[in-house]
Amino acid sequence: MPIAMIVHGGAWAIPDDQVDLHQAGCRAALAVGWEILNAGGSALEACESAVLLMEDDPIFDAGTGAVLTSEGTVELDAALMDGRSLRYGAVAGLRRIRNPITLARRILEGPATLLVGDGAERYAEQVGITLCANEELIVERERKLWEDWRAGRTTPAPFDASETPSTPSAGHDTVGAIALDREGNLVAANSTGGTPFKLPGRVGDTPLIGCGLYADAQIAAAVCTGWGESIARVALARRVIELIERGFAPQSAAEAAIRTLVRQVPGGSGGCILLTHDGRVGMAWNTRRMAYAYRIEGGEVAVGV
């Protein structure tokens, strides 16, 4: 079975001066995952490792460097789905976990599917994951943006599912990865700090199976990014898979799904990446940019925004 992998670094108006860093981060994440796949490792391991690297890269809104809530704290969500077993692990509202994707992996292998907040952090301690202080996840860039927002120097405010976000100075930088290993398994993974200045406790599409991600090793896997409230309302990830089931080519399926998002949710915005069971790639977005990198065995690395 040929191996393949695709990662993304978020769909939003990535500023010109951050483009190179976003592309470099995606390239590095792909390289980490590809090394695992090429050595015969599992798609599960490749996706976890790629996302973990992006969580540790402060350019992305995931893990260290995530955007701040309206209270000036970091709250993190993540998920990982195994396309062969359809098992998944998801976490939300984490404040003291440096790498949520690792906890999601442990939950996938454990007795639950979705854990949130304090309960998720207690479980992390039980399985040997070290907690950190919330302040350790905050970078100066995001602290400054939050201070500007609090002082009224920027316009965005916390929004609910009935509102359209308008955040010119900060992004919705969910990161994600999909891998196809030599055993033919497909795995999807994602991680995020959510939307800038969100209400504490807000959870978007990222940890919701069928919304932020979905994987079926017999068909395809998809990972979404963007305005989570709009993505969840159309169950975008599962919608992409259904289009593949109906016979759409991967690129056509990705583009059709984004058209549906725009048509059914006023102001809906985002993007998606897609990898089929036979190693074909698709991706689409309606934001200014979406950072991505992918490789199919026998081909070269592709990187872009």
Cβ(177)–Cβ(52) under 8 Å? no
Q: Is residue 225 annotated as a catalytic residue, yes or no?
A: no
Phi, psi of 201 (to 5 degrees): 90, -10
Q: Using CA of residue 156, residue 158, residue 161, residue 162, what is the dihedral sign?
A: negative
Q: What is the DSSP string of 128-174?
A: TPPP--GGGG--HHHHHHHHHHHTTSS------TTS----SSS----
Beta carbons within 8 Å of 97's beta carbon, 6+ residues apart:
76, 91, 103, 120, 121, 124, 129, 131, 132
CB burial of residue 284 (10 Å; 0-12, 13-18, 19+) = buried
Of the residues 69, 102, 174, 225, only one is catalytic, namely 174
The two three-digit tokens of residue 180, written as one number: 């196809």
Q: What's the rounded Cα separation, in Å, for the pair 95 and 194?
A: 12
Backbone angles phi, psi at 206, to 5 degrees: -50, -50
Q: Using CA atoms, how far apart are residues 80 and 87, in angstroms rounded to an integer?
A: 9
Please list the residues that pair with 225 across neighbouring strands. 271
What are the backbone dihedrals phi and psi of residue 45, each rounded to the nearest 5 degrees, phi first? Answer: -65, -40
Hunting for tokens 């897609």 — which residue is that? 274
* Residue 35 φ then ψ, to 5°: -60, -40
Active site residues: 174
